[in-house]
Structures are given as structure tokens and as C-alpha cells.
Amino acid sequence: MPAEDILDLTPPPADSRLRYGSHPTQFIDIRLPKTKGPHPVALNIHGGYWRNKYSLDHAGHLCAALTSKGIATANVEYRRVGDEGGGWPGTLEDIRNAYRYIRQVAQEQSFDVDRCVVMGHSAGGQLALALASRELSMRGVVSLAGVVDLQKAFELHLSNDAVVEFLGGKPSEVPEHYHEADPMQLDIPKITQWLVHGKDDDTVPPDFSRRYVEMKQKSGEDAHLLAIEKAGHFDVIDPRTEAWKQIEQTVLRLLA
């Protein structure tokens, strides 16, 4: 089973880099299929526990894999903890601005924004779902091993209290931030949600996605769980794995 080496492999180059803001990290790497458009588009949000130690580079592999299947991909970089303006709410503001920018440049980039999926890995899964709760024009949202329960992430002290850094305090100190950011507390009507999690994930507990889907289904949301046997945290973003085949098919079905 491939592990974290996907983080260190150089990805295939992007076709272009678009800037949606003036901060050095406010850009999007675009990859376009070789066929004639307009193309369905997947906007991808990388993980890294919201910290600027991690960049979008490793996500270039999954974006290139989707592009080879006829999907235009927009790999988003954004301000994170450690960047001026990063953390809550600046990080989500960047994601929203990137999403809106993709729609603005749709014609010149040959994007079919009526067929748009937003996907995010780990902390990016939280951001993808938070975006979906605020922007209702996407076809679907895919969380890959997402940190989708911020209260539980706090209780478990995941990644040395990363959620406290991201939201600027503990739940008792900034309860409004947890209410605004925690996917477990957000309403996402009418958008199909897929929560994908490897059953062997030792970075973000698989139970996060299972409990999220159970709760959302009870409230009437269109949420689904894809739990993958023998898959860890990074297998779900590695196109070389067996797990990736199921994820790719999930994205293709959403965009069909």
C-alpha cells in the first residue's frame, strides 16, 4: 500500500496558473483535457490541517488523473495558518473567492460550471463542505478522509490541536467559530455529498465520516458514505492505489 510518498513526488505540470487574489498563495493551478470543451470541472482543496507547512503540489497527481478522464481541474492554493490572514475566516474566504473566480472565467477556460464538483482531502474536506453550505450552485461535494467533525477533532487533539490554531481558540472560547465552520453543524441542502474514508486511516478517524453521514441522512440531506477497505489517509489521494479507482468513478458519476 503506497503511503506518504505521494507527498514528495513531483506532480505532472499544470497547464496554467490563475490568480484570484493579491496574496502570494491566492492562486489556482488549472489542468485541461486535450478534448474540445466545455469540460466538467472539479475544484480541489488540498489538506494539511490548515497549516502553511503543506502546499497544493501533492494534489497535482489526483488532478492530473481526473483531467486524463476528461475533467478540467482547478487545484486551489489558499491562505493557511501561518500566513497573514490565514485561519478562520480568511481561509474559507479564499476558497469561496476561488470558487467564484472559476465561474467568472468559465467561458475563456472552457469550463462547464453547470457540471462542477468540489472535492477536498483531510482539512480540505472540511473546507469543501463549508463551501457547499454557502455556495449552492455545485453538482456535488466529495470529502476525502475529511476532518468533518471539528468538536471531535478538538476533543481528540488531532495533529497537536490543529483545529484550535485554525479557529483561533477552544470551543468554549470561540463557540461561534465552531458553529460557523464545523460541517456537523452546517446545513447543505440539495447538494449530493460523498464522504470517502479509508478504513485503515490512522490520521483522521474513519468514524468521522460514518457519523457525519448518519446524522446528515437523518436530517434529510443527500449524503453518502464510501468506506474503502485496506486504505489509509493518503491512499484516497493517490492515483496509483486501488482505492483511487472507486473515488474516480464517484466523481465521474457526479459529473455525468
Task: Please write the tens of the pLDDT for every residue from 5-36.
Answer: 899 999 999 999 999 999 999 999 999 999 99
Our count of domains for the chain comes to 1
CATH number at residue 248: 3.40.50.1820
Q: How far is CA 112 from CA 10, 45, 239, in A?
A: 29, 19, 24
Residue 130 contacts residue 186 (beta carbons within 8 Å): yes
Average pLDDT on 211-223 reads 98
Residue 1, pLDDT > 50, answer no
Residue 48 in grid coordinates: 494539511
pLDDT of residue 5: 87
Q: What is the pLDDT of residues 71-104, one digit of tens each?
A: 999 999 999 999 999 999 999 999 999 999 999 9
Q: What is the pLDDT of residues 169-182, one digit of tens each?
A: 999 999 999 999 99
Domain with 234 in it: 4-255
Q: What is the pLDDT of residues 107-135, one digit of tens each?
A: 999 999 999 999 999 999 999 999 999 99
pTM for this predicted structure: 0.97
